[in-house]
């Protein structure tokens, strides 16, 4: 009994020093892991914001973007937080009463004040970019266009954001930024994947942008834009056709069919039974058609529908000039276009129209698209109105024309074939953000896409904690092993001292 007690007393594990060292070691390791976990736990996310107003020909839209505050240096994803459609027409339609252009933005700007946390207002950049409507007004009446901008600037400066200016984007910028948006949202730029082309159809202009494969696009410098993004070089082909947006091209089609100044015009692009009175002066009040105005014409003409897709296609084709091309190859109107490459995203009015016609599914063959359009255009106007009582008549009447224009532009204009047509995806948005030029514009102006690839990201939180824990455990085991000299000897024989 006394020998056993003596054995216990001599067991080195039970010396106070060993116990103290072990306890301190364990506490130190637990403290190390705890500090690492607490110090690096994800803090509640803070965001920064940017606002872009897209002053289009048909309407203005406001977009609010947000991104994690710590990561505006290239690694955080910028996403659309909110959008607001300005009531009424585009700012270019306020040429005669410019103050109203400024006032029209108030409601959406108030929404923006609510959406962006007030502590971020002052640092939030606010941009306004105007597209083809203002390009046309600027051509037609420079003074009026300047007055509209003055009014818009004044209105925007009255809000608490960091106003960065209002300007007209060139067609090249509009095309290129649309391409940046689509490829940024698809994560193709950061990953260096093959890019998607961008097809944008507005009210007054239309853009095509893509990176051609092994084709020298320098033969037309005005159609090429060079980018270095995330360490990759891109030579982008882009072109914007002014007057080939869906509203202006409709004017051109009506002008073409009324060039002799008739009292009544039968239009294959409108449904049978459709009939409205149109004013000649109003129709020709645009630089896209003003030169075509007939010398002698009555005040009005009666616009009636016939509803024939194939004849409508013939009308649309007359709006494209295929005769002259000074480059190795052209799309139309003597504009250089390299061979189409890869897949395309088609947005804005491409989407609105094809979505209305139930033709956004890429698996629908081109021939079926045409057959559906032929059927749709041939449907009597009364029946169309009955089927879509919720759609404004003005828009409803134009879908036959718009659908025919889209198919003709893509196939005859840009040379999509029945094989390549299936590579077009009609899209409204990508991962919750609208497809369009605004996001690309803001990313560019805020330098949020770096030319070089960002440094590889630090370890994620979970990885960091795991590594600290494993290292701490290893240290603990090493510590225990270092105490080997004072470990009790494992012998069956009691150790008699």
Ligand X SMILES: Nc1ccn([C@@H]2O[C@H](COP(=O)(O)OP(=O)(O)OP(=O)(O)O)[C@@H](O)[C@H]2O)c(=O)n1
Q: Which residues are catalytic?
A: 174
Closer by beta carbon to ligand X, 37 or else 276: 276
* Token code pair at residue 449: 């896409």
Note whether 130 and 169 are within 8 A (CB).
Answer: yes
**Annotated binding-site residue? 207:** yes
The answer to the question of residue 238 lying near ligand X (CB under 6 A) is: no
Closer by beta carbon to ligand X, 204 or else 229: 204
Least distance from ligand X to the Cβ atom of residue 349, Å? 4
Measured CA to CA in angstroms, residue 483 lies from 22, 138, 169, 476, 486 at distances of 10, 86, 74, 11, 6
Closer by beta carbon to ligand X, 189 or else 349: 349
Q: How far apart are CA 99 and CA 109, in angstroms?
A: 16
- Among candidate residues 153, 159, 76, the one with its CA nearest the CA of residue 115: 159
Size of the site for ligand X (CB under 6 A): 20
The answer to the question of residue 163 lying near ligand X (CB under 6 A) is: no
- Residue 475 φ then ψ, to 5°: -60, -40
Handedness of CA 19, 23, 29, 30 (dihedral sign): positive
Least distance from ligand X to the Cβ atom of residue 460, Å? 39
Question: Considering only residues 124-153, where is the footprint of ligand X by CB under 6 A?
Answer: 131-133
**Annotated binding-site residue? 205:** yes
Closer by beta carbon to ligand X, 151 or else 288: 288
Q: How far apart are CA 421 and CA 346, in angstroms?
A: 11
Question: Considering only residues 252-311, where is the footprint of ligand X by CB under 6 A?
Answer: none
x/- contact string, 6-45, with ligand X (CB under 6 A)?
Answer: ----------------------------------------
Least distance from ligand X to the Cβ atom of residue 362, Å? 20
Give DSSP secondary structure letters for 60-103.
EEEEEEEEEGGGTTTTSPPEEEEEEEPSSS-GGGGTTSHHHHHH
Single residue of 78, 86, 180, 204 touching ligand X by CB under 6 A? 204
x/- contact string, 351-370, with ligand X (CB under 6 A)?
Answer: -xx-----------------
The answer to the question of residue 348 lying near ligand X (CB under 6 A) is: yes
Any residues with CB less than 8 A from the CB of 323 and at least 6 apart, and which? Answer: none
Which residues are registered as beta bridge partners of 121?
A: none
The residues that touch ligand X, with contacts defined as CB under 6 A, are 56-59, 90, 131-133, 202-205, 245-247, 348-349, 352-353, 395
List residues forming the annotated binding site: 203-207
């Amino acid at each position: 009994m006394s020998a056993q007690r003596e054995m216990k007393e001599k067991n080195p594990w039970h010396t106070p020093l060993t116990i103290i060292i072990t306890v301190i070691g364990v506490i130190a390791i637990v403290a190390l892991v705890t500090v690492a976990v607490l110090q690096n736990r994800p803090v509640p996310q803070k965001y920064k914001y940017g606002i872009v107003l897209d002053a289009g020909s048909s309407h203005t839209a406001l977009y609010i973007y947000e991104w994690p505050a710590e990561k505006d240096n290239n690694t955080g994803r910028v996403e659309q937080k909110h959008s607001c459609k300005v009531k009424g027409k585009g700012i270019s339609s306020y040429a005669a009463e410019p103050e109203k252009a400024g006032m029209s933005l108030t409601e959406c700007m108030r929404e923006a004040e609510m959406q962006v946390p007030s502590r971020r207002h002052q640092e939030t950049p606010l941009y306004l970019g105007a597209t083809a409507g203002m390009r046309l007004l600027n051509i037609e009446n420079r003074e009026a266009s300047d007055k509209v901008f003055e009014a818009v600037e004044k209105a925007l400066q009255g809000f608490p954001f960091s106003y960065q200016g209002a300007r007209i984007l060139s067609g090249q910028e509009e095309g290129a930024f649309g391409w940046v948006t689509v490829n940024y949202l698809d994560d193709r730029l950061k990953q260096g994947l093959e890019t998607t082309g961008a097809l944008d159809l507005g009210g007054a202009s239309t853009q095509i942008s893509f990176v051609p494969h092994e084709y020298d696009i320098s033969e037309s410098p005005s159609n090429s834009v060079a980018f270095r993004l995330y360490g990759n070089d891109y030579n982008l082909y882009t072109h914007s056709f002014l007057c080939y947006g869906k509203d202006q091209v409709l004017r051109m089609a009506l002008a073409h069919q009324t060039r002799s100044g008739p009292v009544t015009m039968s239009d294959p692009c409108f449904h049978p039974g459709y009939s409205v009175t149109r004013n000649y002066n109003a129709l020709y009040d645009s630089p896209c058609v003003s030169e075509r105005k007939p010398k002698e014409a009555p005040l009005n003409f009666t616009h009636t529908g016939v509803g024939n897709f194939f004849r409508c296609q013939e009308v649309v084709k007359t709006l494209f000039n295929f005769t002259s091309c000074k480059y190795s190859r052209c799309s139309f109107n003597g504009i250089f276009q390299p061979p189409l490459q890869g897949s395309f995203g088609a947005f804005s009015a491409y989407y609105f129209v094809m979505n209305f016609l139930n033709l956004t599914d890429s698996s629908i063959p081109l021939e079926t698209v045409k057959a559906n359009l032929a059927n749709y255009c041939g449907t009597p106007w009364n029946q169309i109105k009955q089927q879509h009582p919720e759609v404004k008549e003005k828009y409803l009447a134009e879908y036959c024309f718009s659908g025919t224009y889209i198919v003709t532009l893509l196939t005859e204009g840009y040379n999509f074939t029945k094989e390549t047509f299936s590579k077009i995806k009609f899209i409204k948005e990508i991962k919750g953000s609208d497809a369009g030029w605004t996001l690309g514009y803001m990313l560019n102006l805020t330098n949020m896409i770096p030319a070089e690839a960002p440094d590889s990201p630090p370890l994620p939180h979970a990885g960091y904690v795991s590594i600290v824990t494993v290292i701490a455990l290893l240290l603990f085991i090493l510590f225990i092993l270092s105490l080997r000299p004072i470990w009790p000897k494992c012998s069956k024989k009691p150790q008699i001292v």
